[in-house]
Every structure is written in C-alpha cells, then in structure tokens.
Chain A
Amino acid sequence: MSKIEIKKLSINYGKNEIFNNLSLNIKENSYTAIIGPSSSGKTTLFNEIIKKNKKIKINGNLNYILTDPNKQIVAKTVEKQLKFFLEMEGYTKRQINTRTNNIVAYFELDDILDLDPYKLSEGEKQLVVLCSILVLDLDILIMDNGLCRMNYNLKQKVLDYFKKLKKKKITIVNFASDVGEIVGSDYTILLDKKIVFNEKTKDVIKNNKLFEENNLELPFMLDITNKLKYYGLVKNNVKNVDELVDELWK
C-alpha cells in the first residue's frame, strides 16, 4: 500500500513552473530519501504534502520536521519540549517518562535538559525538535532537510535510529540536500522539477554513472570502491577504510 500518493501535481510561482503533472507514490514502511539540486522543488513538494494539496492523498497520520527548528520550538526547556507533544496527545505519565528517558539516553541529552532550547546551537535545536517528535507513536514522518545542521557523527546516529524505527512499521520521507543521507534508506528519489529517478537505494549506490550524469557526489567509501572495482583493483564489497586497504594490499 502507498502511504503518500501524489497524482498529477502541477505547481507554478507566477511564470516560474516548478512541477508539471508530477506523480509519485511512497511505499508503506519504507525509508525514502528524496535528493535533488538547489531549486529543484524539494521544499515546494514538502510544503504541498504537509498542506495536503488536493492532488496528494495521505493514508495515515503525518508528522513533519521543518528545516528551521526555531519554528517548532514550543517549550521553555529541552525537557519540556521533549514531553510537549506527548502531553498534548494525551499519553499517560508513565509512557511520557519512559519514552523521554529512552530518547535522552540514546542521544545523550542529559546535559542540556534544563536549558532553554533557543539558547542551543542550530544543530542541537534540530536534534531536540526531532527527538520531541520521535518519542510519539509515528505513522509517517516527513522531513525537509531536518538534519542539515547536524555534524557527521550525530547524523549517522540519527540514521541508525531510523533503521530501528523501521521495525516499528514507520514510513520515513527525508528531503535532503546531503547525498550522504541516502545511506540506510530503501529508496532514493532524485527530484529536479520532475522525478529523474526513483530506485532502490541498493541499486543506486552501485551505479556511479547515475551519480555522475546527475552531478551528484556519492559518499566517499562507495565512490572509491566503485571506481577501484572499475579498474579491477578491488573485487569484493568492503565496509570501511581498514577493509579497503587490506583488500587492495592482498
């Protein structure tokens, strides 16, 4: 079943045409990364989805994360922010405490719990806002470049968390400007005012040509292994830098 169905969506800003009859289905219980160059319509499509444009059918409950975390800060301390949406949606006290404690432990938020979210850095704000949504029973989570201010290590941690979430049957759609965020996703979609491709991520990452044609940069490890394979210097798949050097130096 499709969680989000977009049928023949056309959008223009004055003379400036963004989409012309764009159609797209997002599969249930999948993590889809939507990448695309600047001004390709990522934010526009995101906005149309959360505004529930008539051409877009959403089969389920939608939660979203905006690029600017300041727009989603609603409480005076980080702890209150983490509990805010849980309380609003009427979870029991016990549920609220367990869920908050779990997320605090996973993302190591202990030190900032009593702080005013507005006083945090932009990257920390993004994390806190994301966490305040992640504690809910999610059905569909859609993000507009919501990880962009996070550093590499934190981003990996969030992407790992998404993998855990998938076991709970959650559909995640991530509009990202960083191609690295496709790691761990099921589907990768390249958007450039139309759907350029919509493929399984495991096929996409093997295909250097697809990336070069579309002027995208593969994450380093994938890029270098693909190229070394092309020259016949590496035969097997490798996971990290150590394995790669060993494989080269057999």
Chain B
Amino acid sequence: MEIILNNIDVGPFKNLNLCVFDNKITAIIGSNGSGKSILAEMIATTRKPEKGLYIIDGNKIDLNSKNVNFNQLRFDVGIVMQNLRTQFFEGTVEEHILYQLKVYNYKKCEKRVLDSLKMVDLSYEYLKRKIKTLSDTEIFKVMLATVLSINPDVIVLDDPSCFLDKNEIDKLIKLLKIMKIKYNKTIVITSINAYFVLKLADYIYVIDNGKIVMHGEKYEVFNKKKLKDIDIHIPEIIEFQNKFLKTIKSSINYRDNVNDLIKDIYFNIEKRSRGKK
C-alpha cells in the first residue's frame, strides 16, 4: 500500500510532502525533537493534519472531512507507539489482544492471538501473564503482536529499537524483512539507532526542524556529509568504508556488518602485498 502525504500542515511541518512506497521499508531519522513521532502518527492516520490530503493507493482522502471511514484506516495501518505502557489497560496479554480483535469484529480470534504471539517469539505461557508484570521488551512484543493480529497492510513502528538488546533487534529485523518479502507489507520505522536503520531500511527520510532535509536510498543518504551538520550519527562502518575507498581506491562493496567487511579488507590488503612483491 502506498501512502502519500500531500501538502500537509501538522505541528512544526508546513506543506509537507512525503511518500511511503508500497512494499518497502521506509525509515524516518532525525535528532531528538525533530518531529519523528509526529510523522509516524501522521502516516498511521492517528493524528489529523491541520491542512492537506492523504493519497492512499491513488485515492484522495481528507481526514478532516466527515465521511472518512476511520475503521477502514485502522485496518489498513497499524502503529506501535513509543509510550508503551500508556497503551494498555490492566489485564492479561490474551485479554489485551482479544479486545483489539473484537473491536474489529474478527472471527477465529483465539487462533489469531496464538499466531501473532508466535510471530513475535513469545511463548504461550505469556497468554495469562498480567501486562504489568512484563518487562519493557516484552510489552513491546505484545504491542507488536497486537498490531500483527489485525494483519494491516502498513506497519508503523515509532522508535522500536530503544528497549531491545542486539539479539532482539536482530530478531525484529528478520521479522520485518519477512513481513515485507513474504507478506508484501509496507513498513515505516522511526529510529535514532543508525545501525538498526542501516540494516533494515530501503528508503530514508531525514528530518530536521519541521522539514524533510533529504531523502533517498539508504547508502545514498548515509553518504551525505551534510548529515553531520544536522546532528545525525553516520554509522562508523559507513564512515570507515568511505575513508577506505578514498584512500585505497579499491573496490569494496558497502557492507552493513563487520564480518563481511573484514573479508573485503583482507582480500584487498592481500592483493596489494602480492602486487608489491
């Protein structure tokens, strides 16, 4: 599903144009307070614009008009927000997910609950756990399971990497990539974690002070020096590769993990020392 924000005014943003491409993973990055969460909520249609239109798969929608079918929109786009604990009522994991499903009149709810827990790698023992006894990571997973159980076309995650350790981040990356490739989902993430974005995203929007300052394919964006001026951390692995390419003028491919990179370096250095002999 393709979502276009057309000439929208919201919060600090004026005349904002942004496209979430169908079946791609779009990342929104920016320093603290730049407006990432506002954009995430906008894309998820949970926040109304002051002005402007949505174009969803070619259909123009004005969220401020009276005949918008919000229920349909909630079907289409699911969001996991930052303030995890405020999105819950007291009760068990099972009750929480079932509640959401019943709101949308789903059938075979029990199976959907089990399937969604499986997807986020939580065992069935969690069904009867009280939400308030869960850790932040577990709450995030329950929120994600809740969104997945509704099976929306677009999944929006507002800064999901914050509570997660490396292992959990890797699992999330894998899950989201499967969602994209196997189930044709469109995915939007906001993040301050440059490595997470580097490993996951296809397309990146960089925002600063209520403006989109650049956008493009991920390697294209991370290669812009201007990022430093707006306080965005360029992953060191990219900086290193740029410097390496510039100094050594050899052909390494851009890599997003150290082990692949080491092989490239080793090969290059070997070749060079053979040349010397």
Residues of A within 8 A of B (CB): 13, 35-39, 43, 67-68, 70, 112, 120-124, 127, 145, 148-154, 177, 179, 215-217, 220-221, 223-224, 227-228, 231, 233, 241-242, 244-246, 248-249
- Which residues of B have CB within 8 Å of A231? 262, 266
Binary A-proximity of B184-196 (CB < 8 A = 1, otherwise 0):
0000000011110
Cβ of B237 under 8 Å from chain A: yes
Contacts known (A152-B192, A227-B262, A233-B269); A177 close to B243, Cβ less than 8 A = no
Q: Which residue of A lies closest to B270 (CB)?
A: A233
- Is the CB–CB distance between A39 and B233 below 8 Å? no
Residues of B within 8 A of A (CB): 31-37, 82-83, 85, 133, 135-138, 159, 162-168, 192-195, 231-233, 235-237, 239-240, 243-244, 247-248, 258-259, 261-262, 265-266, 269
- Which residues of B have CB within 8 Å of A227? 258-259, 262
- Is the CB–CB distance between B231 and A151 below 8 Å? yes
- Is the CB–CB distance between A177 and B165 below 8 Å? yes
Q: Which residue of B lies closest to A215 (CB)?
A: B167
CB distance from A248 to the nearest CB of B (A): 7
- Is the CB–CB distance between B233 and A152 below 8 Å? yes
Identify which of A35, A121, A153, A242 gathers the most chain B CB atoms within 10 Å of its CB.
A121
- Is the CB–CB distance between B192 and A150 below 8 Å? yes
- Which residues of A have CB within 8 Å of B262? 224, 227-228, 231
- Is the CB–CB distance between A148 and B233 below 8 Å? no
- Is the CB–CB distance between B258 and A43 below 8 Å? no
Could you pull out 18 A-B pairs where Cβ atoms are within 8 angstroms? A38-B135, A38-B138, A43-B136, A121-B34, A122-B37, A123-B32, A148-B162, A149-B159, A149-B162, A150-B192, A151-B31, A151-B32, A152-B233, A154-B31, A177-B165, A224-B258, A233-B266, A241-B236
CB distance from B127 to the nearest CB of A (A): 14
If A67-B136, A152-B233 are given as contacts, then 20 extra A-B residue pairs at C-beta distance below 8 Å, sorted by A number, are A37-B165, A38-B163, A39-B138, A43-B136, A70-B83, A112-B33, A150-B192, A153-B231, A154-B31, A154-B231, A177-B165, A215-B167, A216-B165, A220-B236, A220-B240, A228-B262, A241-B236, A244-B240, A246-B247, A248-B248
Q: How far is the CA of A221 from the CA of B192 in the complex (A)?
A: 19
- Is the CB–CB distance between B32 and A154 below 8 Å? yes
- Is the CB–CB distance between B36 and A121 below 8 Å? yes
- Which residues of A have CB within 8 Å of B83? 68, 70, 122
- Is the CB–CB distance between B236 and A123 below 8 Å? no
Q: Which residue of B lies closest to A245 (CB)?
A: B243
